[in-house]
Structure 1
Amino acid sequence: MGLPVTLFRWDDEGAPQITTGTTKFQQVLDVVKKCLVDGYGAKGGLGWTVAFEDIPNFKIAFRNSTTAGSGGYFQFNSSNNTANGDMRFRGGMDMTAFDLFTNPTPAYGLTIHTSNVKWYLVGTSRSFYLQLLPDNSPNCVLISQYVYAPMFFVGDVESIFPNDVGAFIVTRGNNADSDVTNYNGSVTLSYIPNQTCITMYNVDGVGTAKYGLVSAGSLTVVSSARANDASWVDENKTTTLTPIFIKATVEALDLELTPFIRGVMAGMYQSGIAGYKSTPHIVVRNINGVDHLLMPSFTAGLTWIKLGTWYD
């Protein structure tokens, strides 16, 4: 049995809102906390817990399920709470206080732009994706790579090893090394996820290696000109959906502790046909009998997040 997936979005009844022109980390933090823990309206939280919280200093730490998941920790904070500020995040196997981790992941940063007033969070008790969406580019294929739509993933990957101690990761889709510099929304999981973007601890939790994301096709940047306006699923066309694999960036590895293919990203797939270029956020379509969410991106509408269940 897989874990049930919940899609949260800014236009749900009772959803927390991010204010136009005054986007602040505290508002984004409120979104994440309600989705992971508290719930809102008719939707319950995903089953994560709050491990530490420091509201005056814009810091919070969450933990995923200790029964269904790894019990990994995720620290979410900001260096400020300004209208055009930042969000910073990192994870770890264990955590005793803010910034004090066992086996910490790299620390990353992303800019929160004043245009980021829409959002969605999709996930389970083990992992989630968060993306902030711009109000100045309302379609699923964004008008420019410089439109801000920051996105990241936190939680357990679907490892090929049942007892993978290093399965809990944090990635924004670019740069596997620690770097909390404020990157704009074009350096994000939805834009160029094929680069070396993950540092993972080995299967036994000792030592690290760097990984990237690949699919059956290339995940290199595909021009938005390749996307079609047509809603191809509604035209009874079929497509392949290929999992996004987590692949080591070097080949000379210990294949038992640092395998060349570590697993797949939870719920993330690449389609064989691009589309929905002029369709407003958010697109949810039934593909091969299962609902999927199209990931808004400057690249040509190819990446989907499966709804229903993950970790089947």
Structure 2
Amino acid sequence: MSLPVTVYRWDDAGAPGIPNGTPSEIINVLKKCLVEGYGAKQPLGWSVAFEDAPTNQIIFKNDISQGGSGGVVKFFDATGNDPVSGLVSYQSAQACSGINDLFNVGAQRVTRAVKNNHDAWVLIGTARGFYFTICKSASKMDAGTEINPTLFAGDIDSIIDSDAAVFVAGDEKPDDATSVNYSRTGFEAAGYSLNTSGFVMYDCDGHITNTQYYFNSAFLNGYSAINAPAGDVVPSMLSKVILSTSSSGPGADLGVDRFGVSRVESQVQPSLRGFIPGLFTSSNRAFLDEAWPVIREYDGKNYWLIRGTRRTGCWIWINVDQWYA
């Protein structure tokens, strides 16, 4: 079922702010976008499965009526005292029965907003999944060493029709649950460092067996010492970002699933699991010194460009029209 995409921004009329960067402010932004709405913006249609407001803990569930898996993502104050510029932890699960009772959980990650630095946020999503980024509004597309955390939470677009474990949450750094660093600008690893990036996913039949899936793409621009063009360049070609059990691509995995079936042919732990909804890499990099944000049309569809780092240009795009087509 294809779903329309909605873009929520810090500068929308009636949008909630993050002036102090507290966990409660970040959770409030997520709740407004996903569940309650604000100003003239309707929410995405997610629901609150459980909430403990005094301790800043909340679990969001995607919309089953719109094809969602019913998977959940928990956001919570990492320290418990709602500090200024405090870390917000988050973790996915295939289901839950209470605020602390999550089943088939993903790896725990963190995000944050820093007071007097991060004044902007953007949430791009559907009833099944969303991207959420925090950054400085007066910024160029090249982030340099600024911290601009971006995460995805929701259902992947699986190639297995009966996949019972499609819900994930994370960013480009799967091995860090305690800090946010400058490389975390948003899925740059879809084009670089593939063997350290992706999601741990459970078997398609819902069994507790799990394995690491890696980001992969046809266009692996990577980081380079050569500066990318600074001007306005429309992408010449776009490639979906896939999830595969091998960092070298789905055809390179010689492993087997729990039944001894080759992952290349497996229906429970396939070497190619599916796609990250709406996420693409482009064959060329550009927009180093352009003002953020950049939105461009390609082949009749609109795309939001994720910021890059280290003067290497930007090449990761989010479709802002339609996902799960």
Instruction: Name the amino acid aligned to 1:286.
Output: E
- Percent of aligned positions with the same letter in both sequences? 30
1:160-205 Cα shifts (integer Å, max 9, x gaps): 0111111111111112x5x531233423533434323310001111
Task: Report how far residue 219 of structure 1 moved.
Answer: 5.7
Aligned to 1:128: 130
Gapped regions of structure 1 (runs ≥ 5): none
With normalisation by structure 1, the TM-score equals 0.91
- Alpha carbon RMSD of aligned pairs, Å? 1.8
Aligned to 2:35: 37
Match runs of 1:192-271 below 5 Å: 192-193=189-190, 194=194, 195-206=196-207, 207-218=209-220, 220-222=222-224, 225-233=226-234, 239-249=236-246, 251-254=254-257, 255-271=266-282
Could you list the runs of 4 or more consecutive aligned residues of structure 1 that deviate by over 6 angstroms after TM superposition? none
Task: Report how far residue 272 of structure 1 moved.
Answer: 1.1
Gapped regions of structure 2 (runs ≥ 5): 247-252, 258-265
Between the aligned partners of 1:239 and 1:89, the Cα distance in structure 2 is 36
Aligned to 2:168: 169
Aligned to 1:59: 57
Aligned to 1:116: 118
Between the aligned partners of 1:209 and 1:39, the Cα distance in structure 2 is 36
Task: Report how far residue 47 of structure 1 moved.
Answer: 0.5
Q: Secondary structure at the match of 1:26?
A: helix
Between the aligned partners of 1:311 and 1:287, the Cα distance in structure 2 is 18
Q: Secondary structure at the match of 2:121?
A: strand
Task: Report how far residue 34 of structure 1 moved.
Answer: 0.7
Task: Report how far residue 270 of structure 1 moved.
Answer: 0.5
Q: Secondary structure at the match of 2:286?
A: coil
1:311 and 2:324 correspond = yes
Between the aligned partners of 2:128 and 2:275, the Cα distance in structure 1 is 14
The answer as to whether partners of 1:191 and 1:221 remain within 8 angstroms in 2 is no
Task: Report how far residue 257 of structure 1 moved.
Answer: 1.2
Task: Report how far residue 63 of structure 1 moved.
Answer: 0.3
Between the aligned partners of 1:98 and 1:63, the Cα distance in structure 2 is 12
